[in-house]
Amino acid sequence: MRQETRVKLKNVLLSFKRSIVEVPYSIEELERAYPFHSLLFPGEALKAFKKQRTVVTKMGQQLIPELAKIIAEDQYVEVRRNYEIVGQLDTAKVEVIDNIVNELRMGRRKPNHQKEIQEILAAKDGGRREVRVIADLFIGDFKPGPLFLEFKSPRPNLDVCAESKRKMLLFQALFENKNPQAYLALYYNPFYPEKYNHSITKQIMDMNEEVLIGEDVWNKLGGKGTYDELLRIIEEVREEILEK
Least confident of 28-32, 76-80, 165-169, 234-238: 28-32
SS3 labels along the chain: CCHHHHHHHHHHHHHHHHHCCCCCCCHHHHHHHCCCHHHCCCCHHHHHHHHHHHHHHHHHHHHHHHHHHHHHHCCCCCEEEEEEEEEEEEHHHHHHHHHHHHHHHCCCCCCCHHHHHHHHHHCCCCCEEEEEEEEEEEECCCCCCCEEEEEECCCCCHHHHHHHHHHHHHHHHHCHHHCCEEEEEECCCCCCCCCCCCHHHHHHCCCCCCEEECHHHHHHHHCCCHHHHHHHHHHHHHHHHHHC
Question: Could you read off the pLDDT of 199-238 as tens digits, one per residue?
Answer: 999 999 999 999 999 999 999 999 999 999 999 999 999 8
pTM (2 d.p.): 0.90
The answer to which of 7-11, 53-57, 117-121, 152-156 has the lowest mean pLDDT is: 53-57
